[in-house]
């Protein structure tokens, strides 16, 4: 399916969705965080889309907002899109978990929580996965400073 066809179908799945293909090989869908879970579950269940394979989930720090990027693939229909979601609150960023849609999100969300501090609602057990429980700060954020262990240019 071409990106235009995908865009036409996905437009009807939510409100205020933004689409772009600029600077990317995939169709990018930017979704408001309130609609993340409902859009994702429809992306998987819609018979014309069937995005059943989340092959990459990335946390990112777009200063000042934080965000998550979902790379999705349909193993049956062979098309791919990218879903992006942003959260402005740096103190207490919260998004809905999508682990009930793609179970791989369980671990990837733990990794994002560990390094970016984004909390996921309804995650089965949100915890520090790589770092120790008492670790302060979130190392992959752009404003993280660790004078002992980082070479700051």
What helix, strand, coil percent values describe the chain, rounded to 5?
A: 20, 25, 50
Our finding on whether 38 is near another protein (CB under 8 A) is no
- 35, 90, 106, 126: which one binds another protein (CB under 8 A): 106
Our finding on whether 1 is near another protein (CB under 8 A) is no
Nearest to 116 by CA among 136, 96, 141, 93: 141
Our finding on whether 50 is near another protein (CB under 8 A) is no
CB atoms < 10 A from the CB of 100, how many? Answer: 15
Our finding on whether 109 is near another protein (CB under 8 A) is no
CA 134 to chain centre: 25
| Residue ranges in contact with another protein by CB under 8 A | 22-26, 52-56, 58, 60-61, 69, 71, 75, 78, 82, 102-104, 106-108, 111, 115, 129-132, 139-140, 151, 153
């Amino acid at each position: 399916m071409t990106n235009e066809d995908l865009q036409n179908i996905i437009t009807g799945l939510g409100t205020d969705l933004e689409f772009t293909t600029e600077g990317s090989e995939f169709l990018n869908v930017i979704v408001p965080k309130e609609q993340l879970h409902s859009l994702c579950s429809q992306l998987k269940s819609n018979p014309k889309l069937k995005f059943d394979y989340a092959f990459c989930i990335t946390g990112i720090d777009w200063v000042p907002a934080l965000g998550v990027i979902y790379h999705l693939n349909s193993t049956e229909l062979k098309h791919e899109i990218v879903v992006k979601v942003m959260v402005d609150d740096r103190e207490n960023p919260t998004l809905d978990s999508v682990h009930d849609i793609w179970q791989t999100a369980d671990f990837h969300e733990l990794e994002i929580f560990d390094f970016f501090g984004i909390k996921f609602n309804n995650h089965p057990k949100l915890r520090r996965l790589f770092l120790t429980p008492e670790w302060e700060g979130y190392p992959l954020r752009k404003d993280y400073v660790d004078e002992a262990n980082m070479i700051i240019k």
